[in-house]
Structure formats: C-alpha cells, structure tokens
Amino acid sequence: MKPAGVVRKVDQLGRIVLPKSLRKRYLMNEGDPVEIFVQGDHIILERYRPKCVFCGSMAEVSEFKERYVCGVCLEEMAVLQQ
C-alpha cells in the first residue's frame, strides 16, 4: 500500500472528500456505492461490486429478489428443480 500524497481532514459528520484526481482514476462517480473494509489499522475504500450471497463470487452476478446470485449457483439451483 502506498500513500496517495493527499491529506484531508474529517468533517463534523465524519465525511472526507476524495480528490477529483482519485475519483477519476478509480472511476468513482457521484452516487456510486463504495464498500468500506478494515485491515489492521487501515480503512480501505473500494467501488462496490455485488457478490453472490451463496459463494461470494463477483463473476456473472444477477440480482434476484434484492439479492445477488452468480451464474454457477443459479445453475446448481436449477438442477435442484429437476
């Protein structure tokens, strides 16, 4: 992990403004969901990518009843129907 060369202050509501250059570089636009991870003493921000509720895969994920399911798990569930 390397520093981005930017220091920002947290405001009264806990918000931090991400520099435009970083938002552009990491394709973060207004309204995009961002997921927050913690690792030791670090807080990590990533663009949110839906994961399969069953296996955690991010490949070929479809939304079904407000949950995300990958193609492999959908196929496995289809076999159960037979």
CA dist 21 and 8 (Å) reads 14
Of the pair 13, 78, the CB lying nearest Zn ion is at 78
Question: Can you tell me which of 16, 34, 44, 55 binds Zn ion, judged by CB under 5 A?
Answer: 55
Distances (CA, A) of 79 to 40, 47, 65, 69, 74: 42, 33, 20, 15, 9
Span from 2-10, 12-20, 23-31, 48-56 in contact with Zn ion (CB under 5 A) = 48-56
Q: 28 or 74, CB closer to Zn ion?
A: 74
Instruction: Specify the stretch interacting with Zn ion by CB under 5 A; choose among 3-11, 12-20, 25-33, 44-52.
Output: 44-52
Tokens describing residue 77: 């569930």
| Token duo for residue 49 | 């990518």
